Amino acid sequence: MAELESQPLSDEERAELEELRAEKARREAQEEARREREELAALRAERSKAEEVAANAASAPAPAPKPAAAKPAPAAPKLQPKKAVRPKSVEPKPSRDEMTFAQRMVASKEPTGENEIPGMAPAQKIIIVLALIAFVIFMSYTILTSMGLL
């Protein structure tokens, strides 16, 4: 076996290897094209459904809200095949003025430059400060107790 690995490939073996590599690349390209077609079809269906819902909402008057007890239970989520990867719809972030207090506390500031690291959220800064204060108190207690002062 070691002899086979150390010998260079013959011309026939090289040709066969190149043929296999080309076949593999062709299969991968076909698979990628198939996935893109599936994604495009899914996005078109989603867009047409959204347009249909928008058209129905525009033409029909808004129904009166139902009481909470009369709402039907939500349907079970449909299982998607593993190969179908759909991009998540990204909702636009509200400006800092439109955010609630809690949203502002956990949201970090967006970086302004291309290579800039985003800043820490205020809640994260508060947690770090409280942890440092607790650590200093614990160490002071431990040292004073070991010295017999407490």
Segment 112-142, tens digit of pLDDT: 777 877 778 888 899 999 999 999 999 999 9
Under DSSP, the state recorded for 68 is G
Q: What pTM does this model have? A: 0.34
- Give the chain's mean pLDDT: 80
Is the predicted pLDDT of residue 67 greater than 60, yes or no?
no
**What digits encode the pLDDT tens for the residues 95-111?**
777 888 888 788 777 77
DSSP three-state, residue 16: helix
83 Cβ contact list (under 8 Å, min separation 6): 35
* In contact, 42 and 87? CB cutoff 8 Å: no
Smallest CA-to-CA distance from 105 within 87, 121, 83 is with: 121
